């Protein structure tokens, strides 16, 4: 059993860890997170934008808080931190606003964004990367502090996502090409069909450290749970940086793990 008695904050990846890719957080998972937030600080980090958190995570979180006393709701909200775009944005709860507000944000130079977009245009037009001709929604999304490419489109059905690149071979090939063409960027694999691009030197590990700095906590105060803790995955930087990490395969494993954290 993993001992978290000395941990002050537990951080979870979102897609593939707390919920299936782009799917709404389940009520049972939200309840487990609320119980955990009653004991420790909890953070959720994702390659997705804050807008994605508003669609995928926060509605269920708010639903499970509805029947709780106001003081408990305030405490649980204040113990929850949201880190969109791989932690290049950090949100904390503002009681006066009654909502989450941005606490920190990284810049993404405009000229680098344009270069990234042009390289992705080359990839999509090429026949070398098995990019489907049919796209379900936006393929290349500017998330402000991050550029994300979704090979099948942002709104692709989960079933199609799962079969396109289950072993990351296609995205590893794209990643290698991107790293050759844009050495001034950091590239990682995220979600089921996505690739995240950030300015060089920024990744989830950096986002986690910035959160710790904001909270005046140390690295050994944190444990990170994610599904992409493999070389090239967008959770892997946390492992390389020396954070204590736990790899899960899916949200069901995460539910079991949180149960152990709580016992």
| Domains of the chain, each with CATH number or no CATH | 9-106+202-262 (3.40.50.1000), 110-199 (3.30.1240.20)
Nearest-angstrom CA–CA distance, 104 and 121: 31
The predicted-structure confidence for 40-99, as pLDDT tens digits, reads as follows 999 999 989 999 999 999 999 999 999 899 999 999 999 999 999 999 999 999 999 999
pTM for the model stands at 0.88
The predicted-structure confidence for 181-211, as pLDDT tens digits, reads as follows 999 999 999 888 999 999 998 999 999 999 9
Of the chain, the percentage scoring pLDDT greater than 90 comes to 86
234 secondary structure, DSSP code: T
| pLDDT of res. 1 | 63
Q: Nearest-CA neighbor of 8 among 50, 35, 41, 44?
A: 41
157 contact partners, CB below 8 Å, separation of at least 6: 136
- Report helix, strand and coil shares of the chain as percent, to nearest 5: 40, 20, 40
Mean pLDDT of the chain, nearest integer: 94
The predicted-structure confidence for 106-159, as pLDDT tens digits, reads as follows 989 999 999 999 999 999 999 899 998 889 999 999 998 899 999 999 899 989
| Count helices and strands in the chain by DSSP H and E runs | 10, 11
- Locate 130 and state its tokens: 């098995």
Nearest-angstrom CA–CA distance, 33 and 59: 14
| pLDDT of res. 59 | 97
| pLDDT of res. 3 | 80
Nearest-angstrom CA–CA distance, 197 and 86: 10
């Amino acid at each position: 059993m993993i001992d978290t008695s000395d941990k002050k904050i537990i951080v979870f990846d979102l897609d593939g860890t707390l919920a299936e890719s782009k799917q709404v957080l389940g009520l049972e998972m939200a309840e487990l997170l609320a119980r955990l937030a009653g004991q420790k600080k909890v953070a959720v980090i994702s390659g997705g934008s804050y807008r994605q958190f508003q669609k995928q995570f926060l509605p269920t979180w708010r639903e499970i808080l509805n029947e709780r006393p106001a003081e408990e709701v305030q405490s649980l909200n204040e113990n929850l931190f949201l880190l969109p775009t791989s932690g290049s944005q950090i949100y904390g709860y503002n009681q006066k606003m009654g909502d989450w507000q941005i606490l920190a944000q990284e810049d993404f130079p405009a000229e680098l964004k344009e270069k990234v977009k042009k390289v992705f245009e080359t990839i999509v037009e090429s026949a070398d990367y098995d990019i489907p001709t049919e796209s379900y929604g936006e393929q290349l999304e500017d998330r402000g502090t991050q550029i994300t490419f979704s090979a099948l489109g942002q709104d692709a059905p989960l079933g199609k996502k799962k079969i396109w690149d289950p072993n990351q071979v296609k995205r590893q090939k794209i990643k290698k090409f991107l790293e050759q063409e844009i050495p001034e960027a950091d590239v990682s694999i995220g979600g089921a069909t996505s690739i995240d691009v950030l300015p060089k030197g920024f990744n989830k590990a950096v986002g986690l450290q910035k959160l710790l700095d904001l909270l005046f906590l140390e690295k050994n105060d944190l444990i990170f749970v994610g599904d992409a803790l493999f070389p090239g995955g967008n959770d892997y930087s946390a492992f390389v940086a020396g954070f204590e990490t736990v790899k899960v395969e899916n949200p069901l494993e995460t539910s079991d793990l949180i149960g152990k954290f709580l016992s």
